[in-house]
Amino acid sequence: MRNLSSYLRVLAFAGIALLGIEYLIQTEEGKWAIIENPYAGVFLGIVILFAIAIEVSIASLKNILYYTMDEAARERYDAQQAEKSKRFVKLKERLQKMMTRSKPVEEEHEIVLDHNYDGIRELDNKLPPWWLYGFYLTILFAAIYLVRFHVFDDYTQKEEYEQEVAEAKAAIEEYKKNNKDLIDLESVQFVTNEDDLSAGKQVYTANCVACHKADGGGGIGPNLTDKHWILGGGIKNVYKTISKGGRSGKGMVAWENQLSAEEMQQVASYVLTLQGTEPAQPKEPQGEKTWELERDEQGNIIKEEG
Ligand code: HEC
């Protein structure tokens, strides 16, 4: 198999197999089954190997037949092959002519212009059709573009940009939602929606009340409802305290092995909302640092990221 058509046949086989694979195996939109699914790749490889094997076998079969032919048959066969390739060459020439409309070198004297600069002369060639029609296409494109965007004011570049940014943001949100454990010290946020806060409350009730009391008033651990913090307030500090623990020997362990990143974000946010509530038996304020939760006039939490 050493001629163009056998290569093309193998390619065509591979292409059909690829289309079949993509059609039959379900994947998420925009993804290739051939990349996502390892078996699809193996299958495609086998198909290609088979196609090559078939081509090779046919070629060697032809070879054997050729050598078993007698002299006369062989000559006839060669002549036939030569005829075929001559036809191919002619076709190629005709195609080339159609694409360029150039004059063959022997006829160039017909189109040479009558000026001559130091022996450099100019041929008055026809514009090559591939170029000419390409040029017409650009004119057509420009006309449609002009009418669509400057006469009928279809979307502007700014709108296009904004839409793409919005789509990208939505995709990021979606990704974050599906990959909750991406939350870390850098990206942790004060989440104030009800679902997250009630989930945070559950985590708190299950793990923290022994030392901080159900109302956050404090016991073994410090009061979580006042503005004073030993280790620093705000979502980042509190998240850090919960995930990495307090000062050693004080009793506040690192929770990062027991709780998921999302749970720690939820419970940290819940802890922040305790501020300003009035526990039954508040422990006296501890800590030099102060941090205060901001609320608007209605008492709603103003989301704070720091
Ligand atoms: C075994 C008791 C104990 C448990 C259980 C416990 N803590 Fe603590 N917590 C402490 C102690 C003690 C400190 C003070 C640490 C220090 O001084 O370094 C503390 C400190 C903290 C602080 C920092 C307070 C400040 O003033 O900086 C936060 C926030 C906190 N805990 C939240 C939690 C959360 C949320 C849980 C549950 C997931 C929890 N704790 C469970 C004992 C505990």
Q: Do 66 and 124 share a structural domain?
A: no
Of 69, 100, 131, the residue that ends a domain is 100
Q: Can you tell me which atom of ligand 1 is nearest the CA of 255?
A: 38
Domain count of the fold of the chain: 3
72-127 residue pLDDT tens: 988 998 899 899 889 989 998 888 888 888 888 888 888 899 899 999 999 998 88
Q: Do 84 and 122 share a structural domain?
A: no
**Is residue 254 in contact with ligand 1, taking CB distance under 6 Å?**
no
Q: Which two tokens stand for residue 95?
A: 């195609």
Question: How far is it, in rounded angstroms, from Cα 25 to Cα 40?
Answer: 8
Q: Which two tokens stand for residue 298?
A: 């209605």
User: What separation in Å is there between the alpha carbon of 246 and the centre of ligand 1?
Assistant: 7
CA dihedral for 154, 156, 161, 163, sign (positive or negative): negative
220-231 residue pLDDT tens: 999 999 999 999
Closest residue by CA, ligand 1 atom 39: 208
**Is residue 289 in contact with ligand 1, taking CB distance under 6 Å?**
no
User: What separation in Å is there between the alpha carbon of 221 and the centre of ligand 1?
Assistant: 5
pLDDT of residue 303: 67
pLDDT of residue 1: 45
From residue 194, how far is each of 206, 256, 272, 304 by CA, in Å?
18, 23, 14, 16
User: What separation in Å is there between the alpha carbon of 219 and the centre of ligand 1?
Assistant: 10
Long-range own/partner contacts, residues 166-169 (CB < 8 A, 24 or more apart): none
What residue has token string 């600069």?
117
Tell whether 35 is covered by a domain.
Answer: yes
Tell whether 188 is covered by a domain.
Answer: no
**Is residue 285 in contact with ligand 1, taking CB distance under 6 Å?**
no
Q: Do 277 and 201 share a structural domain?
A: yes
Of 124, 151, 178, the residue that ends a domain is 151
Global pTM reads 0.54
Length, in residues, of the chain: 306
**Is residue 221 in contact with ligand 1, taking CB distance under 6 Å?**
yes
pLDDT tops 90 at residue 36: no
Q: Do 127 and 75 share a structural domain?
A: no
Residue 105: burial class (beta carbons within 10 Å; 0-12, 13-18, 19+): exposed
Q: Can you tell me which atom of ligand 1 is nearest the CA of 232?
A: 27
Secondary structure (3-state) at 112: strand
Tell whether 24 is covered by a domain.
Answer: yes
User: What separation in Å is there between the alpha carbon of 228 and the centre of ligand 1?
Assistant: 13
The pLDDT-based confidence of 146 (bands split at 50, 70, 90) is very high
Tell whether 164 is covered by a domain.
Answer: no
User: What separation in Å is there between the alpha carbon of 182 and the centre of ligand 1?
Assistant: 23
221 touches 252 (CB < 8 A): yes
Question: How far is it, in rounded angstroms, from Cα 261 to Cα 278?
Answer: 29
From 212, 229, 258, mutation site for ligand 1 pocket: most ligand atoms within 8 A of C-beta: 212
**Is residue 250 in contact with ligand 1, taking CB distance under 6 Å?**
yes
200 touches 270 (CB < 8 A): yes
Tell whether 162 is covered by a domain.
Answer: no
170-222 residue pLDDT tens: 998 888 777 766 888 888 889 888 999 999 999 999 999 999 999 999 999 99
Degrees to nearest 5, angle at CA 233 with 229 and 237: 115
Q: Do 285 and 198 share a structural domain?
A: yes
What does the CA dihedral 257, 263, 268, 270 come to, rounded to 10 degrees?
A: -150
CA dihedral for 5, 6, 7, 9, sign (positive or negative): positive
**Is residue 238 in contact with ligand 1, taking CB distance under 6 Å?**
yes
7-27 residue pLDDT tens: 899 999 999 999 988 888 877
Q: Can you tell me which atom of ligand 1 is nearest the CA of 233?
A: 27
User: What separation in Å is there between the alpha carbon of 224 and the centre of ligand 1?
Assistant: 9
**Is residue 208 in contact with ligand 1, taking CB distance under 6 Å?**
yes
Encoded amino acid at 108, one letter: E
Domain range for 88: 4-100
Q: Do 138 and 89 share a structural domain?
A: no
Tell whether 301 is covered by a domain.
Answer: no
Closest residue by CA, ligand 1 atom 15: 246
